[in-house]
């Protein structure tokens, strides 16, 4: 039997965090939650997820800062990340997506369904597995 994929959701909107965690758990993922980048980094160090769903605008440490710290650490530099954000600023998103390591995707919160998100997660995990092979 294949090991469950571990997903870390880093999102400061409690309602969205809960809905995402519930849906992904029902889809068969093992899910951890964090409300900001600081909690996210702590969760990464404890659980080493297979994929991170990462919001950008958060208190204490934003998603960009967390992503920079992940990419600056050899143990976490290649964890695939899907940015989930309300940001529509093309330049900021483009800058984030130019990170040199790890699979990074972007989804604008108002433009996706849960089914599309699950598909994006599964596709990203498959790409990551192929890159690691």
**DSSP alpha helix (H) spans, the chain:** 14-26, 37-47, 63-71, 90-97, 114-132
pTM for the full model? 0.89
Domains in the chain, please, with CATH? 6-132 (3.40.50.2300)
Q: How far apart are CA 44 and CA 61, in angstroms?
A: 14
Task: Show the tokens assigned to 102.
Answer: 């790890």
Q: How far apart are CA 24 and CA 84, in angstroms?
A: 15
Q: Higher model confidence: residue 92 or residue 123?
A: 123
**Do residues 67 and 35 touch, judged by C-beta distance below 8 A?**
no
Give the pLDDT confidence score for residue 22 in this predicted structure.
97
DSSP secondary structure letter of residue 53: E
């Amino acid at each position: 039997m294949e090991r469950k994929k571990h997903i870390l959701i880093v999102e400061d909107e409690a309602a969205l965090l809960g809905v995402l965690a519930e849906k992904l758990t029902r889809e068969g993922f093992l899910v951890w939650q964090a409300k900001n980048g600081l909690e996210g980094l702590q969760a990464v160090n404890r659980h080493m997820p297979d994929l991170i769903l990462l919001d950008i605008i958060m208190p204490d440490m934003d998603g960009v800062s967390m992503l920079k710290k992940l990419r600056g650490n050899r143990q976490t530099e290649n964890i695939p990340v899907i940015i989930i954000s309300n940001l529509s600023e093309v330049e900021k998103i483009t800058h984030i997506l130019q990170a040199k390591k790890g699979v990074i995707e972007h989804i604008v919160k108002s433009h996706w369904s849960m089914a599309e998100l699950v598909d994006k997660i599964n596709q990203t995990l498959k790409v990551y597995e192929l890159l690691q092979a």
